[in-house]
Structure 1
């Protein structure tokens, strides 16, 4: 492992909570596609399968930030364990109702509660912040590493979930996803030494973290960004089917994630200078431009190359986004702020996948790549319009806000200034 990565794991406890986070996040990439595979195998109804996956995604988008808000107030262990138990019980009900062919409304009832699953990635990143808040370069490397972990989950998870559900029994994929969640969450919350100190209610003035203008820009942009991801997944499967190699779609999409994974590794080795907002804007624009070649490809090998190149912009943009969340959200609401970004992404994925499906049905697979291109263009427009809200604040009396360069604010005085700016 390169030396910057060795350095961040020198602190006791970091290897353990990061490993726990890997297990806990596997469910993110496995549960949705696992439910789609399970339901389609048991009933042959792809419409029902997609509707259930969308219900779970929207449920997580609605409930996730509220769970994270409670985590900031009361601590990870006290909140995350009960929330995970509720999600696991609902997941068990979903699998049972599908297996026993209960009425459709029972499937949707359970699916709407499965979204109670906490944002494990936000919990892990909050621990890195608690350790390396005063070391911007090490925090940048930690964010990059966690971005790589995200991509590993999205490379391995869908292949594992689909493979088990098709080769073993239909419920196997979602069942393993639930097991990963249980192991990851309970292992993570058992590690009290690295758990961030909760902030009592009196420190949570001003309502939700989403009141921050900077966070509003990030979340809105990531709704469009999520639409890119959701559309690319659906259209790529349809394109591979048109080419007579539907099973190759998972490999092509794995190449997409691999590009992001490699970019994240390299990005974590860099020593960055200048404002994070500028890098973020360039990253969003690069993601939009990288969608153009998808409109021109005519076969799967060229599509794989185009998606690999497109993936190179993902992880650096994600890493920079988390640095900006830390800059624009008060410390007492950090976990909630990170979860709002993930929520925007989840909503975008649901919108992008559904829109892409309609376009593919109407005009064919190749035309479907217009959807991620349009979503990328929209993300770039929103990023340009909101850029002013992300730039570092001008100097204020008593000191200036530090600029995020992949790092963080470095003292309580800076945090107070940030709170004053966002709550004004």
Structure 2
């Protein structure tokens, strides 16, 4: 326990205490906009179909344009990209509120929703990229890099618990427009604050290398594509669980419990994710991936036989313990094997895979729940978990960070090269032994 606390102290010393706080509040609008847009349009138009279309275009915008924003951040730095995206997203979100309240037709509302999704600032993936760059700059050991992934994963989980909760509370007390208006304000204030934070200097961008005529970009290792598929299936589990929980609570006559049940799963997931820093180094990334996906399969099966409220709480809460380890492992694997100059793009692609899987499964499992009851939706979650485990079992995972992979380039703001760069407090740390490297060391990192 003491060692885990010490590791997280190193992480906070690397980032500064303000960056995790700012990035957390900047993530909230992402979690609020999807749910908030559906509630708002359903309230103002009286049509669930219209609400679903607007929510779907918002998700589609994020899935399609998320990797592009990540690539721009890799090339030109996080600061200008996040500043521009936050401004556009705040305006688009405000326009969505105004359009819904003004009674716009479905097509223009859907177009605004697409712009809102396309301009999401991707604070989660970019914050991971920035924190990892800070860790590499300080020559931090793999245990500390792992703790970075755990902390970022926990912030994501907590934001996706509190975001929808805030939307639901605002809708209950006032109106869904208040929730979306709050999301616009949050992204404008905290997205800008994240972009302007001094640590943005370590992600100032790496110009695209010139290639000979006809030459193609280097391909990612196969494990990267396997991880993206695994994340899409994780998203499918999220979407199927949402549909199943909503269906069962409605069937039991307590639809208001759905959000609380889902939030309980998120809280447990976040707690377990934060605790991953305590795992010893011998639990490598490959093993953690297999254990997490295996646990998700085993713990999701009872959903098929859950028919009352309190067993639902129990099963869903316990299932949450498998989610954060899988997500953190997937992002850590991505960071390990991709080129540093393409890290933000790869992190954004991973996040988009999660969103795509969730949106697709929510649509499919919702129809199954209508036809076959909650078990029909939960069957999608169990099937997705089984496929996740299969991918983890057959995918070859490198046991250590490739030796040819250097830490992310620091174009500007590197204290060793740029006298004007902000000076951060970086504690002295060991770089990790050769034995650690060979074993895929890193209490938090190597096992994800």
- Between the aligned partners of 1:220 and 1:367, the Cα distance in structure 2 is 22
Paired position in structure 2 for 1:318: 327
Give the counterpart of 1:362 among 364, 367, 371. 371
| SS at 1:101 equivalent | coil
1:333 and 2:342 matched: yes
Paired position in structure 1 for 2:144: 138
Aligned residues of 2:144 and 2:445 also touching (Cα < 8 A): no
Give the counterpart of 2:121 among 112, 118, 133. 118
Paired position in structure 1 for 2:86: 84
Give the counterpart of 2:64 among 33, 56, 62. 62
1:341 Cα shift? 0.9
| SS at 1:171 equivalent | helix
Paired position in structure 1 for 2:178: 172
- Between the aligned partners of 2:220 and 2:232, the Cα distance in structure 1 is 17
1:364 Cα shift? 1.5
Paired position in structure 2 for 1:150: 156
Aligned residues of 1:137 and 1:271 also touching (Cα < 8 A): no
- Report the CA distance shift for 1:204/1:30 in structure 2 as closer, same or farther (over 3 A): farther
Paired position in structure 2 for 1:231: 240
1:203 Cα shift? 7.5
1:208 Cα shift? 6.4
Paired position in structure 2 for 1:391: 398
Aligned residues of 2:79 and 2:204 also touching (Cα < 8 A): no
Paired position in structure 1 for 2:38: 36
- Between the aligned partners of 1:172 and 1:76, the Cα distance in structure 2 is 29
Where structure 2 has 5 or more consecutive residues not aligned to the other structure, the ranges are: 406-433
Paired position in structure 2 for 1:160: 166
1:207 Cα shift? 6.0
1:118 Cα shift? 2.1
Structure 1, residues 174-228: CA drift from partner, whole Å, max 9, x if none? Answer: 1111222222211111113453241111279986687432211111111111000
| SS at 1:25 equivalent | helix
Where structure 1 has 5 or more consecutive residues not aligned to the other structure, the ranges are: 410-424
| SS at 1:201 equivalent | coil
1:261 and 2:261 matched: no
Paired position in structure 1 for 2:279: 270
Give the counterpart of 2:52 among 47, 50, 62. 50
Structure 1, residues 338-373: CA drift from partner, whole Å, max 9, x if none? Answer: 111101100000011001110011112233211111
Paired position in structure 1 for 2:425: none
Structure 1, residues 226-248: CA drift from partner, whole Å, max 9, x if none? Answer: 00001101210111111111111
1:10 Cα shift? 2.3
Paired position in structure 2 for 1:417: none
Give the counterpart of 2:357 among 348, 357, 362. 348
Paired position in structure 2 for 1:185: 191
| SS at 1:246 equivalent | coil
1:402 Cα shift? 5.9
1:267 Cα shift? 0.8
- Normalised to the residue count of structure 1, the TM-score between the two structures is 0.89
Aligned residues of 1:209 and 1:336 also touching (Cα < 8 A): no
- Between the aligned partners of 1:64 and 1:211, the Cα distance in structure 2 is 18
Alignment of 1:87-106 (within 5 A): 87-106=89-108
- Normalised to the residue count of structure 2, the TM-score between the two structures is 0.85
Aligned residues of 2:157 and 2:269 also touching (Cα < 8 A): yes
Aligned residues of 1:324 and 1:404 also touching (Cα < 8 A): no
Aligned residues of 1:225 and 1:379 also touching (Cα < 8 A): yes
**Higher mean Cα deviation, 282-291 or 231-240?**
282-291
- Between the aligned partners of 2:185 and 2:105, the Cα distance in structure 1 is 26
1:294 and 2:303 matched: yes
Aligned residues of 2:66 and 2:120 also touching (Cα < 8 A): yes
**Higher mean Cα deviation, 272-281 or 243-252?**
272-281
Structure 1, residues 46-69: CA drift from partner, whole Å, max 9, x if none? Answer: 121122112111110100110110
Give the counterpart of 1:18 among 17, 20, 23. 20
| SS at 1:359 equivalent | helix
